Amino acid sequence: MRFMRIGTAGAERPAILDAAGVARDISTIVPDIGPETIADLGARLAGVDLSTLPALDMAGQRIGSPIARPRNIWCIGLNYSDHAAEAGMPVPSEPIVFSKPGSALCGPNDPILTSPGMTKIDWEVELGIVIGAPALDIAPGTAMDHVFGYVAANDVSERAWQIERGGQWMKGKSYPNFCPCGPWLVTRDEIADPQALGMELSVNGAVMQKGTTATMIFGVAHIVEYLSQFALLEPGDLIVTGTPPGVGMGQKPPRYLANGDVVELSIDGLGAQRSEVRARV
């Protein structure tokens, strides 16, 4: 199944895509797609004839994040060996964990917002994991039972704030709209192998990142099991899993985003995004 949320920010309608790619309104079945509903979303839709649900006219409609604001956005850093190399950092022996606030989440085509104090705004196409069942100290080999599905995400970063201002990475990761997500939330059963997904990102039409989740250092199952040792993963939580090489910081010379730039990205089976960089007003 592929889920979407469609409409103005804060008033999105939950939808499911039918076999023909038509968005069907499921708001009479579930009020939203998020932390309060995702655990039993599949059960609520079991046996429903999608053709009987109202079709949503997508023309001119905003696409929201396919999940409502999660309780937690977990992030894994330097999870591709070639990205670690371009950053000049050693390959980690354990996952590097940081976080973003829920306020960073936005729709796949919403603008990437900037402020006058930003000087090194960067892009990172990433596979996102959405948790469907609570996970804490889970048994080895059971991680996938706790995964609801996957999304495409952009871990937007302000590198000067992340690296040059001291303290934790999340300083440079947390501004509003620094986590475009979607357009679809695709259930686990639709993705045969999350470690075999092609991914690409371009800036103003020039391809900057082209990689595959096959080169992740720590795969999806390992990440979920690992994080569950340290924290309760809750339904609706989003985990962004790292990025392949080609980020702006790794260009020679470095190349960062400016207002007016357009970032486009896609991941196999998870859809595409298009975000314009824009000053916050």
Give the side-chain half-sphere CA count within 13 A for 243.
Answer: 26
Query: Which 8-state DSSP code applies to residue 55?
Result: B
Q: Which of these, 98, 245, 265, lies nearest to 182 by C-alpha position?
A: 265
Distance CA 248, CA 273 (A): 18
pLDDT in tens, 17-36: 999 999 999 999 999 999 99
Distance CA 247, CA 86 (A): 9
Query: Are the CB atoms for 150 and 188 separated by under 8 Å?
Result: yes
What domains can be seen in the chain, in order of their start residue? 64-279 (3.90.850.10)
Query: Are the CB atoms for 256 and 121 separated by under 8 Å?
Result: yes
Residue 81: band (very low, low, confident or very high) from pLDDT cuts 50, 70, 90: confident
Distance CA 207, CA 186 (A): 25
Residue 90: band (very low, low, confident or very high) from pLDDT cuts 50, 70, 90: confident
**What is the structure's pLDDT at 85?**
79
Residues forming beta bridges with residue 219, ordered by sequence position = none
Query: Would you state the structure tokens that stand for residue 137, as one six-digit string?
Result: 């100290």
What is the enclosing helix (H) or strand (E) of 54? none
How far is the CA of 69 from the CAs of 80, 94, 105, in angstroms? 27, 28, 7
At residue 225, φ and ψ (nearest 5 deg) are: -65, -40
Residue 86: band (very low, low, confident or very high) from pLDDT cuts 50, 70, 90: confident
pLDDT in tens, 130-149: 999 999 999 999 999 999 99
Distance CA 59, CA 6 (A): 11
Query: Which 8-state DSSP code applies to residue 146?
Result: G
